Amino acid sequence: MGYAAADEAHIDDAFKPFLPQVGITDGRELFPWPESFPGEWYLDLLAVKESAQHRGIGTALLHDAAQRAQKAGFPRVGLCCDLVNPKAQALYEREGYQDDGRVQIFEHMYRHMSKPLGAQANGK
């Protein structure tokens, strides 16, 4: 699942009617911390069931996300990687993602990584 960084402020609006059902009645936002960086297609969720890992599925999903973002005209794709997940970080780095900052989500810090697309990826 992903979205344009410009849409992040409203991406969780669909959850608002259900927040009272989970005890959030004080008007706070569900996710007040920005995860994406301006101008990117943000890959919010990428998961491969543990029993299906090491078969190229994660790599294929990353390729598909990058292709979709490029076709939509985005200059880069970004994602967050848990600081304590070296296997995921290694996968992202193999696929051309570079560490470009830190993002806090709730009380946990993540590595923000991005990959240039199109002409930018080729240094043009």
pLDDT for the residue numbered 11: 73
State how far the Cα of 34 lies from the Cα of 37, in Å rounded to an integer.
8
Q: Which CATH number fits domain 2-120: 3.40.630.30, 3.40.50.720, 3.30.70.270, 3.90.1150.10?
A: 3.40.630.30
- State pLDDT tens for residues 48-76: 898 988 899 999 999 999 999 999 999 99
pTM above 0.75, yes or no: yes
- State pLDDT tens for residues 73-89: 999 999 999 999 998 99
Residues in the chain: 124
On whether the CB atoms of residues 22 and 59 are closer than 8 A, the answer is no
- HSE at residue 46, side-chain half, CA atoms within 13 A, is 25
Rounded percentage of the chain residues whose pLDDT exceeds 70: 90
Q: For the chain, which residues make up each domain, given as ranges?
A: 2-120
Q: Which residue has the tokens 């080729």?
A: 122
pLDDT for the residue numbered 10: 79
Closest Cα partner for 115 from 85, 81, 84?
Answer: 81
